[in-house]
Chains A and B, each alone.
Chain A
Amino acid sequence: SAVISQKPSRDICQRGTSLTIQCQVDSQVTMMFWYRQQPGQSLTLIATANQGSEATYESGFVIDKFPISRPNLTFSTLTVSNMSPEDSSIYLCSAQGLGTEAFFGQGTRLTVV
């Protein structure tokens, strides 16, 4: 099955700064998604990353805070902007190809201090 690589795997960032997380899939996929998992909680979908166009955000998430790019069928980035301690979470990339189930990367563990 396809593999997702996320970078960085973890980071500690100062409040007010931004972090860009990269998601690379080893094969072309149809859909790519970004999720957030706050400490002790389940996963929440942030947005669908659309190739060559603006991402589609779920309720409660906005582009200014979480800009997303998807320049091609295998790569996407999520930026967490102007970070605060409340942004400390695990951020996960997911992808799905035609006829396959959705699969996930190992996540990026972000701590904001």
Chain B
Amino acid sequence: DAKTTQPPSMDCAEGRAANLPCNHSTISGNEYVYWYRQIHSQGPQYIIHGLKNNETNEMASLIITEDRKSSTLILPHATLRDTAVYYCIGSNAGGTSYGKLTFGQGTILTVHP
């Protein structure tokens, strides 16, 4: 799995967009970029994933650079409940690695009132 680098912490005001960056310069062509978050004392929650194209779902948007060396997770209108540790993970979605995730230290996002 690709090594990812994320800032250890970020702050965001409630109601504003939260933009969480991730560097994955060693990602291979068949590795997807996954984002999960872990709210205190809970199991990780899937947010979104993508390969090349930008993706959007009801939770967030994922912007992947054209060279795939970095990406940004966007929470369009952050709420206090979005305070969590956010993990960016590069993972081969097939073969023997199917379902296996290598977690880094993630970014602690704190949303302030």
Give chain A's interface residues, CB within 8 Å of chain B: 4, 30-31, 33, 35, 42-45, 48, 92, 94-96, 101-107
Contact of A42 with B99 in the complex, beta carbons under 8 Å: no
Contact of B34 with A101 in the complex, beta carbons under 8 Å: yes
Contact of A101 with B46 in the complex, beta carbons under 8 Å: yes
Contact of A33 with B104 in the complex, beta carbons under 8 Å: no
Residue of B nearest to A96 (CB): B99
Q: Which residues of B contact A44 (CB under 8 A)?
A: 103
Contact of B98 with A42 in the complex, beta carbons under 8 Å: no
With contacts defined as CB atoms under 8 Å apart, how many contacts are there between chain A and chain B in the complex?
A: 45
A interface footprint on B81-113 (CB within 8 Å = 1, 0 otherwise) = 000000100000000001111111110000000
Contact of B103 with A43 in the complex, beta carbons under 8 Å: yes
CA–CA, A4 and B46, complex, Å: 14
CA–CA, A103 and B105, complex, Å: 19
Q: Which residues of A contact B101 (CB under 8 A)?
A: 43, 45, 94, 102
Contact of A106 with B43 in the complex, beta carbons under 8 Å: yes
Q: Which of B34, B45, B102 contacts A104 (CB 8 A)?
A: B45
CA–CA, A101 and B87, complex, Å: 15
Contact of A42 with B43 in the complex, beta carbons under 8 Å: no
Contact of B46 with A105 in the complex, beta carbons under 8 Å: no
User: Chain A interface secondary structure, helix, strand, loop or mixed?
Assistant: strand
- Most B C-beta atoms less than 10 A away, residue of A43, A95, A96, A105: A43
In the assembled complex, B21 has its CB within 8 A of some CB on chain A = no
Residue of A nearest to B43 (CB): A104
Q: Which of B46, B100, B106 contacts A42 (CB 8 A)?
A: B106
CA–CA, A94 and B36, complex, Å: 13
> 13 A-B pairs, CB-CB below 8 angstroms?
A4-B43, A31-B99, A31-B100, A42-B87, A42-B103, A42-B105, A42-B106, A43-B44, A94-B101, A101-B49, A104-B44, A104-B45, A106-B42
